[in-house]
Structure 1
Amino acid sequence: MHPPTAPTPAAPGSIPLIGHVHRLARDPLPFITSLREHGSVVRIRISRTPAYVVTDPALTRRVLVTDAEDFAKGGKIIDALRVFFGDGLATVADGDTHLRNRRLMQPMFNKAHIETRSTAMIEQVRSMATGWPEGIPRDVFADMNDVALAVFLVALFGTDLPGHLQSEFTALMPEIMKGTIRQTVLPPWLTRLPLPANRAHADRVRRLRELVDQAIDHRTASAPVSRSADEAARPPGCPHDPRTQQGAGLIDTLLNAEHPLTHQQLQDEAITLLTGAIETTGTTLAWTLYEISQNPRIEERLRAELASVCPGRPLAQDDLDHLPYARRVLQESIRKYGPAWMVTRTATRDVNLGGHHIPQGADVVWSPYLHQHDPAFFPEPDAFDPDRWTADRAHHTRGSFLAFGDGRRKCIGENFAWMELQIILATILQIWPRMELTSRPPRAQAVVTVKPDALTLTFHRHAHA
Structure 2
Amino acid sequence: MPQPPTRPGNGHLQDWALSPLPLIEDGARRARAAGTDLFRLRLGIPSVVGFSPAWNKRLLSDLDTFRSAGGFSAVVPYLAGGVILTDAPMHRRRRQTINPGFGKQHLETLRGRTQAALSSIPDGEFDALAWADGAVLRLLNAAYFGGSFDPQLLHSFLAPLRQPFPVPALPRPLLFLRVDAELRRLATQRLTAGGDDLLAVLAPIPGGLEEARVSLAAAHDTTTHALAYALWHLARHPQWQAPEHHPAILKETLRLYPPGWMGSRRLKCELNWNGVTLPRGTLALYAPYLSARDPGLWDAPDQFLPERWTRKPPAWAYLPFGGGERLCLGMHLAQMLILDVLAELPPLQAVGGDDTPVPGITLGPRGPLVIRRTGKSA
TM-score normalized with structure 1 length: 0.74
Share of identical aligned residues, percent? 24
> Separation in 1 of the partners of 2:177 and 2:114?
24
Corresponding residue for residue 44 of structure 1: 41
Mapped contact 1:149–1:277 kept (Cα < 8 A): no
Q: CA deviation at 1:336?
A: 0.5
Q: Mean Cα displacement is larger for which, 289-298 or 30-39? A: 30-39
Alignment of 1:169 onto 2:162? no
Out of 6, 25, 41, the position equivalent to 1:14 is 6
> Separation in 2 of the partners of 1:379 and 1:74?
36
Task: Give secondary structure in 1 for the equivalent of 2:339.
Answer: helix
Q: CA deviation at 1:214?
A: 1.1
Alignment of 1:272 onto 2:218? no
Mapped contact 1:343–1:366 kept (Cα < 8 A): yes
1:94/1:352 Cα in 2 relative to 1: closer, same or farther (>3 Å)? same
Mapped contact 1:73–1:345 kept (Cα < 8 A): yes
Q: CA deviation at 1:177?
A: 4.4
Given residue 43 of structure 1, which amino acid in structure 2 is its aligned partner? Answer: R
Corresponding residue for residue 286 of structure 2: 366
> Separation in 1 of the partners of 2:97 and 2:70?
26
Q: Mind listing any 5+ residue stretches in structure 2 that lack a counterpart?
A: none
Q: CA deviation at 1:143?
A: 1.8
Given residue 236 of structure 2, which amino acid in structure 1 is its aligned partner? Answer: Q
Corresponding residue for residue 147 of structure 1: 135
1:33-87 per-position Cα deviation (integer Å, ceiling 9, x unaligned): 23222231111111x322011121212211111x331111134512212x33332
Matched ranges for 1:42-191 at <5 A: 42-46=39-43, 48-65=44-61, 67-81=62-76, 83-96=77-90, 98-125=91-118, 128-129=119-120, 132=122, 134-135=123-124, 137-159=125-147, 161-162=148-149, 165-178=150-163, 181-182=165-166
TM-score normalized with structure 2 length: 0.90
* Structure index of larger Rg: 1
1:386-414 per-position Cα deviation (integer Å, ceiling 9, x unaligned): 11111xx225x222111111122111222
Out of 399, 414, 436, the position equivalent to 2:316 is 399
Mapped contact 2:68–2:86 kept (Cα < 8 A): yes
Corresponding residue for residue 251 of structure 1: 199
Mapped contact 2:102–2:333 kept (Cα < 8 A): yes
Out of 436, 446, 456, the position equivalent to 2:369 is 456
Corresponding residue for residue 352 of structure 1: 272
Task: Give secondary structure in 1 for the equivalent of 2:264.
Answer: strand
> Separation in 2 of the partners of 1:213 and 1:437?
42
Corresponding residue for residue 327 of structure 2: 410
Q: Mind listing any 5+ residue stretches in structure 1 that lack a counterpart?
A: 1-8, 185-190, 192-200, 227-244, 307-322
Out of 7, 22, 27, the position equivalent to 1:30 is 22
Corresponding residue for residue 218 of structure 1: 186
**Greater relative contact order (CA < 8 Å, ≥ 6 in sequence):** 1
Q: CA deviation at 1:364?
A: 0.4
> Separation in 1 of the partners of 2:68 and 2:374?
47
Mapped contact 2:136–2:224 kept (Cα < 8 A): yes
1:147/1:252 Cα in 2 relative to 1: closer, same or farther (>3 Å)? same
Given residue 114 of structure 2, which amino acid in structure 1 is its aligned partner? Answer: M
Q: For the aligned residues, what is the CA RMSD?
A: 2.2
Given residue 345 of structure 1, which amino acid in structure 2 is its aligned partner? Answer: R
1:461/1:208 Cα in 2 relative to 1: closer, same or farther (>3 Å)? farther
Q: After the TM superposition, which segments of 4 or more aligned residues of structure 1 sit over 6 Å from their partners?
A: none
Mapped contact 2:107–2:333 kept (Cα < 8 A): yes
1:224/1:145 Cα in 2 relative to 1: closer, same or farther (>3 Å)? same
Given residue 312 of structure 2, which amino acid in structure 1 is its aligned partner? Answer: A
